[in-house]
Amino acid sequence: MNFVCSNREYLSNILDDIKNNYETGSIVNISYDIIKQQKTYDQIKYIFGGLIKSLRKFFNELGYEYDSIMIKDWLYCACKVFKVEYMPNGLPFITGNTLSEMTKREASKFIQDVIFYIDNSTILKDFILPPDMRYCWTHNVTNEVIAHIKQEKINNFDSYYLRHQSKLTCIKCGAKGGMVYHLKRTDNKDYLTIPLCGNCYNKVNTHGESYLTKDIKAVLNGLSIDDFCLSAYHYWKKHY
């Protein structure tokens, strides 16, 4: 399984999981790269590959033997990239561009659609999506995009969004969440929220938001935490 880790706590969780699942006498093959910088398109392809491998392992543990091509085609169809068309003789054929045939913008939107599908699919309700994959869309958020989002009408209170946040994994350590942290601002707005597990929630309340933003720096990808929350709500609202 591939993981993309951007802070020590999440890396520690992954290593602990490997250690806890290790069987005496077995051999574990571990390889890693320390990535200083990646081009957006290359990173998108890397993330898609990681999603496919993670989903394959998830289904294998449930007793289903799906290969990578089957899962890839399933995601293309589920996100309506592949469509079934019919020839004049009535025989079906599939049309659509694969990730390698998409532009950067198309590829970024496709990954957003895949993540939204995973978050809302009943058959994947027990699948844990790592924070670096869930929030990979941040690599495509520019100052112009933020300015455009700020011109839109935004609901200050949205219980559906809070419910959605509570179902996500912790943005800091990748553990199952359940807690929704409101940023400490003058006005209490539901879109200014972050999903956390109970442990990280208590730590942030004890040490402050600077403790949080330092560890999720790679997830924010240069965005302020306020702009990140605003963008996350915007993208959720678009799909919702």
Which of 105, 120, 114, 133 lies closest to 41 in space, CA to CA? 105
Dihedral-angle region of residue 90 (phi above 0 means left; psi in -120 to 50 means alpha; beta otherwise): left
Separation CA 4–CA 133 (nearest Å):
8
Contact 68, 56 (CB under 8 A): yes
Assign 197 to helix, strand or coil.
coil
pLDDT of residue 37: 43
**Pairing relationship of beta strands 92-95 and 193-196 according to DSSP bridges:** unpaired
pLDDT of residue 167: 87
Question: Any idea of the CA torsion for 128, 173, 167, 105, to the nearest 10 degrees?
Answer: -70
pLDDT of residue 5: 64
Separation CA 86–CA 38 (nearest Å):
40
Q: Which portions of the chain are predicted below pLDDT 70?
A: 1-7, 9-10, 32-41, 240
Buried/exposed code over 66-95 (b: 16+ C-beta within 10 A; e: otherwise): beeeebbeebbeebebbeeeeeeeeeeeee
Full-model pTM: 0.69
Cβ neighbours of residue 145 closer than 8 Å, sequence gap 6 or more: 231
Would the CA dihedral through 229, 210, 166, 110 be positive or negative? positive
- For the chain, the first-to-last Cα distance in angstroms comes to 30
